[in-house]
Amino acid sequence: MRLLHRPALLSIFVSLALLLAPASRAQRAAVEAEHGLVTSAHELASEAGVEMLKKGGNAVDAAVATGLALTVVYPFAGNIGGGGFMLIHLADGRDVAVDYRETAPAAASRDMYLGPDGNLLKGPGSSVLGWRASGVPGSVAGFALALEKYGSGKLTWTDVCEPARRLAADGHLVSQATAAGLKRANNLAAFADSKKIYQNGGAFWKAGDLWRQPELAATFARLQKNGPREFYEGETAQNIAAAMAANGGTIALADLKNYQAVFREPLRGKYRGYDIVTMPPPSSGGIALLQMFGMLEPFDVRAMGSNSAAKYHLFHEVMRRAFRDRAAYLGDPDFVPVPTAGLLDKAYIAGLMKNYDPQKATPSAGLAAGQPAGWEAIAALDKKAPTPKESLETTHFSVVDAAGNAVSNTYTLNGGFGSGVTIPGTGILMNNEMDDFASKPGTPNMFGLIQGEANAIAPSRRPLSSMVPTFVNKDGKLLLVTGSPGGPTIINTVLEIITNVIDHDMSVMQAVEAPRFHHQWTPDVMTYERNGLSIDTLNLLDAMGHHIGRHQNFEGAYQGDGETIMVDPKTHLILGAADPRKSDAKAVGY
């Protein structure tokens, strides 16, 4: 947007904006814990994780219990009908990435969401709504794999399922946020089981109601009795496959049986002497995050101040370049030759900033993708430009235990309440993750993201994602555990939380509370949170040529939900920062 009232004396405002001001005091204190801590989007889910820690479990045990409990108390994004990524840090220094992203069913095809006129289908049958919108769920397999390989061994799969089963069977009190979210969910009313369970048959749940979910409780009881493969091969799998077949869905019993979560090697980088550990593809976030750190490294961000026009200009230019590469080169590494090494090469990253002008914005329209080592293989695929649709409705939680093990986990149904479909007899809400694939060449999605042929729909392929659970270590010791929901804004939210701590010496609560901003190359618009930037700073950025718009796609005009933990290097206390942008979020420790 073109701002009014541009100051006549621009240089005066430049000087004011570049002043280094100390970070303001956090609005609330971080939660302190000695033995372990969980922070998530819902207090009851955090308590479920801490329950496991108190029983002698480790961070992985607690994370699985938290993720399963969110299925019950935070169905907006918590799930066993979706998928995501888990990053595990072990006390002995090892780091492990678990990819339990959904996969396209065998019946999926490149143009499955195009109508006879060649345009994207709308409504039921599209990639957004209904029985054809779901990828094969990965959450149960991912949690089970993490527990089997890296759980404490003191707790069983039955143990970690119990808080979720209990919350579904005995019920929990509906919060104001949950009641409002369920009432607003237009995708639920179209499906009988979803309307019955999640909207109280059309009467809607009210704050303070005791909400029981007996069918979901029975599903968790089956999982407890028969183990996690029950979801993929037992009665639950049969229920999913039968319902899909009866309603024109695409997930078959063989798709469920064949699904496997996989381990991947985390990506590693450095920023000002800190070690960054993050997710590899099919997350696009890790590569983009490390590229942005590399581009920022030569600049004295601290001297710019935490909220100056100079800093915002630099960060938006860095974001613009990372997202341009993201669009050109990233996809599922099991299907396409992602040039990871080339994209993270230090000389290549430095070259991305050769055309950076500290006084002027770079128009996105004229910004060509870089050519990292290995780029030709992707370019050969990219005859057209399919566009994925990344939803904002994801959730993140972080866990640290007394021994120093940690989990950073981001998972999703994709859209809020996924596809809107609940599998009859199970209480399971299904994802609409197929919408994260490229559905139609050359058509910008609802967020304006453009993506290459590397993310086209194909059977068994995992869609590209921005989810980026991340660790920050200093001198070999864990410092930060962080991540966020927010579609493409996830990457920049994580960047900002980490740089708030490293560059601006913010406490973990200050770093999470601080205003956020975003640029994703296209559309060529920088967005910011409500009341996040002063009019003086906005005028300066406008004068530099930035196109500015407030966040319109976020509840309350906010960006992300950065549930973050810091391990204080001096006191060794575990400090939990629940993001105030989510009213039900809570850090719980003991």
Amino acid identity of residue 234, one-letter, is: G
- Cα–Cα nearest to 277, from 256, 301, 255, 293: 293
* Residue 293 in this model has a pLDDT that exceeds 60: yes
Asked if residue 159 and residue 237 are part of one domain, the reply reads: yes
169 in any annotated domain: yes
* Domain that includes residue 181, residue range: 31-264+388-455
Beta pairing class for 406-412 and 548-550: unpaired
**Beta bridge pairs of residue 412:** 83, 394
422 has catalytic annotation: no
Report pLDDT digits (tens) over 351-379.
Answer: 999 999 999 999 999 898 889 988 888 77
Asked if residue 120 and residue 54 are part of one domain, the reply reads: yes
Asked if residue 450 and residue 372 are part of one domain, the reply reads: no
Q: How many helices (H) and strands (E) does the chain have?
A: 20, 21
7 in any annotated domain: no
* Residue 131 in this model has a pLDDT that exceeds 70: yes
Asked if residue 217 and residue 321 are part of one domain, the reply reads: no
Backbone phi, psi, residue 175, to 5°: -85, 170
* Residue 188 in this model has a pLDDT that exceeds 50: yes
8 in any annotated domain: no
Residue 272 in contact with residue 296, Cβ under 8 Å?
A: no
Range name among 56-70, 444-458, 562-576 with the lowest pLDDT average: 444-458
Report pLDDT digits (tens) over 429-444.
Answer: 999 988 877 665 455 4
Report pLDDT digits (tens) over 404-422.
Answer: 999 999 999 998 999 999 9
Asked if residue 242 and residue 217 are part of one domain, the reply reads: yes
Asked if residue 508 and residue 442 are part of one domain, the reply reads: no
Asked if residue 196 and residue 48 are part of one domain, the reply reads: yes
3 in any annotated domain: no
pLDDT at site 452: 52
* Residue 475 in this model has a pLDDT that exceeds 60: yes
Backbone phi, psi, residue 55, to 5°: -90, 5
5 in any annotated domain: no
Say which DSSP state 438 is in: B
Asked if residue 330 and residue 289 are part of one domain, the reply reads: yes
Calculate mean pLDDT across residues 38-42: 98
Question: What is d(CA 350, CA 348) in angstroms, rounded to the nearest whole number?
Answer: 5
Question: What is d(CA 436, CA 457) in angstroms, rounded to the nearest whole number?
Answer: 9
461 in any annotated domain: no
- Cα–Cα nearest to 461, from 257, 255, 285, 234: 255
Last residue of one domain, picked from the residues 401, 425, 455: 455
Cβ partners under 8 Å of residue 76, min gap 6: 178, 181, 393, 395, 413, 416, 417
pLDDT at site 385: 38
Domain count, the chain: 2
Q: What is the mean pLDDT of the chain?
A: 90
pLDDT at site 13: 35
DSSP letters, 339-393, are -HHHHT-HHHHHHHTTT-BTTBPPPGGG------TTHHHHHHH-SS-B-----S-
Asked if residue 428 and residue 334 are part of one domain, the reply reads: no
Asked if residue 376 and residue 352 are part of one domain, the reply reads: yes
What CATH number is associated with residue 538? 3.60.20.40
pLDDT at site 120: 83
- Cα–Cα nearest to 167, from 58, 35, 78: 78
Range name among 11-25, 86-100, 169-183, 324-338 with the lowest pLDDT average: 11-25
78 in any annotated domain: yes
Range name among 1-15, 125-139, 184-198, 242-256 with the lowest pLDDT average: 1-15
pLDDT at site 461: 87
Buried b (16+ CB within 10 A) or exposed e, 134-160: bbbbbbbbbbbbbbeebbbeebebebb
* Residue 18 in this model has a pLDDT that exceeds 50: no
The CB density around residue 29, as the number of other CB atoms within 10 Å, is: 11
Asked if residue 271 and residue 255 are part of one domain, the reply reads: no
Asked if residue 317 and residue 230 are part of one domain, the reply reads: no
Cβ partners under 8 Å of residue 553, min gap 6: 392, 446, 447
Last residue of one domain, picked from the residues 428, 455, 482: 455
Cβ partners under 8 Å of residue 334, min gap 6: 461, 462
Choice among 340, 394, 482, 493 that is catalytic: 394
342 in any annotated domain: yes
* Residue 383 in this model has a pLDDT that exceeds 60: no
Last residue of one domain, picked from the residues 416, 433, 455: 455
Whether the bond between 282 and the residue before it is cis, its omega within 30 degrees of 0, is: yes
* Residue 555 in this model has a pLDDT that exceeds 90: no
- Cα–Cα nearest to 513, from 23, 22, 27, 21: 27
Question: What is d(CA 431, CA 546) in angstroms, rounded to the nearest whole number?
Answer: 36
